């Protein structure tokens, strides 16, 4: 978990509110476009997702699943919203590699991932859906994210135990 959780949540809530989005699935591509970011599908090789903010472009890997691409777009929006002052582009190394582990900007990566998670799966909506009895596979479909993203969101919002009791 990143350190600036509240800031990430606040920024994501502001964006959803500004875009008038009140239900899943969140139109993350539309949000990117409203921020003057162009989403470009490309075969970026070793990069999972890559933003060239100077060019106003978000590159997503065309071989990723739609859910994976959506998460990458949310991640890059996070960099723009949270880190625009810090740098002009982000490149994503393989998370398994040592280079990544030594990345001094890892905190920024954690923040961008957390931001993407709360943008695509807003905690308040998730809580309501879990209360209504929805299970992880249905939630993944409803929010158009991977099951991993749903499980992480459930854990971060302390909702896993509620699902486990069923």
Interface positions with Zn ion (CB under 5 A): 90, 109, 112
Half-sphere exposure of 101 (CA within 13 A, CB side): 3
Whole-number minimum distance, CB 90 to Zn ion, in Å? Answer: 4
* Alpha helices for 20-156 (secondary structure H): 28-34, 66-83, 98-101, 106-120, 123-131, 136-143, 147-156
Q: Residues near 150 by Cβ (< 8 Å), separated by ≥ 6?
A: 121, 136, 139, 140, 143
Whole-number minimum distance, CB 28 to Zn ion, in Å? Answer: 15
- Inter-residue contact 69 to 60 (CB < 8 Å): yes
Whole-number minimum distance, CB 78 to Zn ion, in Å? Answer: 8
Q: Which is nearer to Zn ion, 93 or 141 (CB)?
A: 93
Q: Which is nearer to Zn ion, 92 or 130 (CB)?
A: 92
Q: Which is nearer to Zn ion, 39 or 159 (CB)?
A: 39
Q: Which is nearer to Zn ion, 47 or 125 (CB)?
A: 47
Whole-number minimum distance, CB 131 to Zn ion, in Å? Answer: 33
């Amino acid at each position: 978990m990143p350190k600036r959780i509240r800031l990430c949540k606040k920024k994501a809530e502001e964006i959803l509110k500004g875009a008038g989005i009140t239900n899943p699935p969140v139109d993350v591509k539309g949000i990117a476009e409203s921020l003057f970011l162009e989403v470009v599908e490309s075969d970026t090789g070793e990069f999972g997702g890559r933003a060239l903010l100077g060019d106003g472009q978000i590159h997503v890997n065309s071989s990723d699943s739609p859910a994976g691409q959506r998460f990458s777009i949310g991640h890059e929006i996070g960099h723009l919203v949270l880190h625009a002052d810090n740098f002009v582009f982000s490149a994503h190394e393989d998370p398994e590699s040592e280079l990544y582990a030594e990345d001094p900007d890892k905190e920024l990566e954690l923040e961008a991932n957390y931001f993407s998670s709360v943008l695509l799966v807003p905690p308040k909506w998730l809580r309501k859906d879990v209360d209504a009895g929805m299970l992880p596979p249905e939630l993944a479909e409803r929010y158009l994210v991977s099951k991993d993203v749903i499980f992480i969101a459930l854990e971060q919002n302390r909702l896993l135990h509620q699902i486990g009791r069923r």
